[in-house]
């Protein structure tokens, strides 16, 4: 059994694989995970797999934002980009595509050629194009993420580059009387416009869309419509990194 | 002795010929204690948050260095923020001496600028050329440090950066800097070969963040080409001072830099480049030119204020180095 661990900024994702077969996926709130299931010992993070209710794994491979601040004891560590590419190749069976991974705080656009990373770009100083932004905006609109992700038609124009000021701008649009679908579509378009320069630089005819934000169907539709490309959302977009860790563990 | 502040490389020969000491403010700002506080002090004085950290650090550093009351203001060929930096410094009683690198590398205009500087410092060509000879001998030794970095793999990316960057003002004491270089060379000649397998180039202005070179080496990559820092050593043999500052690539059209970078990518057998820019700098726009013109993978790294290399940048660097290694 191989355990893949993706330590994200909002969630910790775990995948278990036996050979090439997926045995289970688990997701935890990041803060809760660190508080309840892990403790720091001699500078390393010891994960209480028993308490998590997981069967013992022969090998643990980890990735994610947390890996530099918390090295998981007994785990091999791989860079996120690598984990995500391995996961996407495994999940889609494709070898040439542009991978767009939008997570809690990170946006990554990776050009994959023949199953390997050819180039990549990520957001750097600003997280306005991430899942956290969508959560905040949905809260302002008083709807959940599922409802937010339905709308992409007749979007309102939102201009703010700052996610916090974006909330104020959205409130202004609510006052002006725009409908919730239009406002939600505007929010989804904002994400698209934010990642567009990166996508254009990494251009490809096929996009594989992963990360928690990939559950947003409106964004998938917007990408297909605006870029005129095939957009594949694999079965487990949020577990893509954790699956990539398992694949790496199986190969190495 | 009269100290003259400089905020970027200028014909330093003129300053030395006048018996003055040039002081590269960048170096004393970033190596001084609490550089972050200097940036904050400038913000308190009214510098906007979304302005380059170097400019803010320079402002506070110059005001604190009470024995530097004259600063050479490069009004063309560095950055336009310098204009406001000099204006706000003048408001505080600091004298500024304007100098401009002509954008099109026009030799006559450059000569005129150098001669105006010479007139300010009351020196003639003979005095300036004597200094040039003296400094060229030191520069040549630093070229050797650079060669030992990329050809013999005996010098770290940081030492390469440090010795080259110090060629902007020769640390204010060319003779002792010369001795320091000689001692370093003696050790470096016999140093064991460094084994990092990924060879990187660092292009762009020197970083405001620290720990970058060491971090790269800890993950098996090494900077064997520091583009702008190398330019500070005037890496071209010429007896003509005007021509020397004309060949210096940094202050002119970016295409001159690209030509130099392309040559060094090949010569030094580079696997990839890190393009470093400051947050809010016009050079962030030039990133698209480098990506279009250079045929190697590029990681764009952005620094804002003086600090240790942050976790996000480390994550991006890890992925980049891994990608280069994967594709080798």
Q: Which domain holds residue B106?
A: 3-125
Residue A124 contacts residue A150 (beta carbons within 8 Å): no
pLDDT for res A56: 84
pLDDT for res A163: 75
Q: pLDDT, tens digit, for every residue of A5-31? A: 999 888 999 999 998 899 999 999 999
The average pLDDT across B31-52 equals: 95
Residues of A in contact with B314 (CB under 8 A): 68
What Rg do the C-alpha atoms of chain A give, in angstroms?
Answer: 19
Is B192 contained in some domain?
Answer: no
Q: How far is A117 from chain B (nearest CA, A)?
A: 6
Residue B318 contacts residue B219 (beta carbons within 8 Å): yes
Where residue A204 falls among pLDDT bands split at 50, 70, 90?
Answer: confident
Q: How far is A236 from chain B (nearest CA, A)?
A: 23
Residue B327 contacts residue A120 (beta carbons within 8 Å): no
> Which residues 253-292 of B are in CB contact (within 8 Å) with A?
279, 291
Whether B302 and A124 lie within 8 Å, measured CB to CB: yes
pLDDT for res A105: 79
Residue B298 contacts residue B315 (beta carbons within 8 Å): no
Asked if A248 reaches chain B (Cβ–Cβ under 8 Å), the answer is no
The average pLDDT across A165-191 equals: 92
The average pLDDT across B308-314 equals: 87
Give yes or no for residue B295 having a pLDDT over 80: yes
Residue B136 contacts residue B243 (beta carbons within 8 Å): no
Where residue B37 falls among pLDDT bands split at 50, 70, 90?
Answer: very high
Which residues, 6 or more positions from A39, have their beta carbon under 8 angstroms from its beta carbon?
A: A45, A46, A48
Give yes or no for residue A226 having a pLDDT over 60: yes
Is B53 contained in some domain?
Answer: yes
Residues of B in contact with A122 (CB under 8 A): 316, 319
Domain range A2-82+240-251, its CATH number among 3.30.9.10, 3.40.50.2000, 3.30.420.40, 3.30.70.980: 3.30.420.40
Cα–Cα dist A210/A219, whole Å: 12
Whether B315 and A79 lie within 8 Å, measured CB to CB: yes
Q: How far is A125 from chain B (nearest CA, A)?
A: 8
Residue B208 contacts residue B277 (beta carbons within 8 Å): no
Asked if B314 reaches chain A (Cβ–Cβ under 8 Å), the answer is yes
Is B116 contained in some domain?
Answer: yes
How many folded domains does chain B comprise? 1
Top-confidence residue, A57 or B157: B157
Residues of B in contact with A80 (CB under 8 A): 315, 319
Q: How far is A80 from chain B (nearest CA, A)?
A: 7
| Mean pLDDT value across chain B | 96
> Which residues 88-127 of A are in CB contact (within 8 Å) with B?
116-122, 124-125
Cα–Cα dist B239/A16, whole Å: 68
Where residue A69 falls among pLDDT bands split at 50, 70, 90?
Answer: low
Nearest alpha-carbon partner for B264 in B171, B146, B130, B159: B146
| Mean pLDDT value across chain A | 90
Is B306 contained in some domain?
Answer: no
pLDDT for res A67: 54
Closest CB to A119: pick one of B297, B315, B326. B297
Domain ranges of chain A: 2-82+240-251
Give yes or no for residue B253 having a pLDDT over 70: yes
Residue A247 contacts residue A90 (beta carbons within 8 Å): yes
Closest CB to A125: pick one of B302, B315, B326. B302
Lowest mean pLDDT, pick from A34-38, B213-217, B276-280: A34-38
Closest CB to B304: pick one of A82, A122, A125. A125
Longest dimension (CA), chain B: 58
Give yes or no for residue A70 having a pLDDT over 80: no
Q: For the domain that residue B24 is a member of, what is the CATH number?
A: 3.40.50.11890
Cα–Cα dist A14/A65, whole Å: 14
Q: pLDDT, tens digit, for every residue of A119-135? A: 898 877 677 768 888 99
Which residues, 6 or more positions from B294, have their beta carbon under 8 angstroms from its beta carbon?
A: B258, B261, B262, B265, B273
Cα–Cα dist B69/B218, whole Å: 42
Give yes or no for residue A160 having a pLDDT over 80: no
Is B205 contained in some domain?
Answer: no
Which chain B residue has the Cα nearest residue A112?
B323
DSSP string, B64-114: H-TTEEEEEEEEESS-THHHHHHHHHHHTT-EEEEEE--TT--HHHHHHHH
> Which residues 207-236 of A are in CB contact (within 8 Å) with B?
none
Residue A2 contacts residue A16 (beta carbons within 8 Å): yes
The tokens of B85 are what?
């930096």
Where residue A185 falls among pLDDT bands split at 50, 70, 90?
Answer: very high
Cα–Cα dist B163/B178, whole Å: 10
Is B66 contained in some domain?
Answer: yes
Residues of A in contact with B287 (CB under 8 A): none
Lowest mean pLDDT, pick from A65-79, B64-78, B253-267: A65-79
The tokens of A116 are what?
């390997």
Give yes or no for residue A228 having a pLDDT over 90: yes
């Amino acid at each position: 059994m191989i355990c893949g661990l993706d330590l994200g900024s909002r969630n910790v994702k775990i995948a278990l694989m036996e050979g090439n077969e997926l045995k289970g996926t688990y997701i935890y709130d990041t803060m809760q995970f660190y508080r309840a299931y892990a403790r720091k010992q001699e500078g390393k993070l010891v994960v209480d797999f028993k308490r998590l209710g997981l069967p013992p794994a022969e090998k643990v491979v980890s990735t994610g934002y947390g890996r530099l601040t918390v090295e998981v004891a007994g785990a091999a560590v791989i860079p996120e980009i690598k984990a995500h590419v391995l996961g996407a190749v495994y999940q889609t069976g494709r070898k040439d595509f542009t991978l767009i991974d939008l997570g809690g705080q990170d946006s990554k656009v990776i050009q994959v050629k023949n199953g390997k990373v050819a180039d990549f770009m990520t957001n750097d100083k600003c997280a306005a194009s991430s899942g956290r932004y969508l959560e905040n905006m949905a809260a302002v609109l008083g709807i959940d993420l599922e409802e937010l992700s339905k709308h992409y038609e007749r979007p309102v124009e939102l201009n703010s580059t700052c996610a916090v000021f974006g909330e104020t701008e959205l409130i202004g649009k609510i006052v002006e009387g725009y409908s919730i679908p239009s406002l939600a579509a505007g929010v989804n378009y904002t994400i698209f416009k934010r990642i567009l320069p990166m996508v254009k630089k990494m251009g490809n005819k096929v996009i594989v869309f992963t990360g928690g934000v990939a559950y947003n169907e409106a964004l998938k539709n917007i990408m297909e419509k605006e870029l005129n490309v095939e957009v594949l959302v694999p079965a487990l977009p949020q577990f893509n990194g954790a699956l990539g860790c398992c694949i790496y563990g199986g190969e190495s | 002795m009269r100290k003259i502040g400089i905020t970027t490389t200028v014909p330093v020969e003129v300053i030395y010929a006048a018996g003055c000491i040039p002081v590269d403010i960048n170096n004393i700002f970033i190596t001084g204690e609490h550089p972050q506080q200097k940036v904050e002090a400038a913000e308190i004085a009214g510098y906007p948050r979304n302005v380059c950290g170097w400019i803010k650090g320079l402002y506070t550093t110059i005001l604190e260095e009470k024995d530097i009351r004259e600063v050479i203001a490069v009004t063309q060929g560095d950055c336009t923020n310098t204009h406001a930096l000099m204006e706000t410094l003048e408001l505080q009683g600091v004298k500024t001496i304007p100098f401009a690198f002509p954008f099109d590398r026009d030799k006559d205009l450059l000569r005129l600028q150098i001669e105006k500087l010479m007139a300010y410092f009351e020196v003639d060509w003979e005095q300036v050329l004597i200094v040039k000879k003296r400094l060229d001998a030191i520069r040549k030794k630093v070229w050797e440090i650079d060669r030992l970095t990329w050809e013999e793999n005996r010098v770290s990316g940081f030492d390469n950066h440090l010795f080259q960057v110090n060629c902007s003002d020769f640390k204010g004491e060319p003779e002792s800097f010369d001795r320091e270089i000689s001692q370093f060379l003696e050790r470096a000649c016999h140093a064991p070969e460094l084994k990092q397998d990924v060879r990187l180039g660092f292009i762009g202005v020197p970083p405001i963040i620290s720990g970058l070179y060491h971090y790269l080496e800890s993950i098996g990559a090494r900077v064997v080409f520091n583009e702008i820092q190398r330019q500070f050593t005037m890496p071209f043999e010429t007896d003509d001072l005007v021509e020397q500052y004309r060949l210096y690539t940094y202050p002119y059209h970016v295409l001159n830099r690209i030509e130099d970078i392309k040559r060094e990518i090949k010569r030094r057998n580079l696997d990839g480049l890190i393009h470093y820019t400051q947050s809010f700098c016009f050079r962030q726009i030039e990133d698209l030119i480098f990506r279009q013109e250079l045929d190697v993978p590029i990681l764009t790294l952005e620094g804002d204020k003086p600090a240790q290399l942050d976790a996000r940048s480390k994550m991006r660097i890890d992925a980049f180095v891994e990608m280069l290694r994967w594709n080798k």
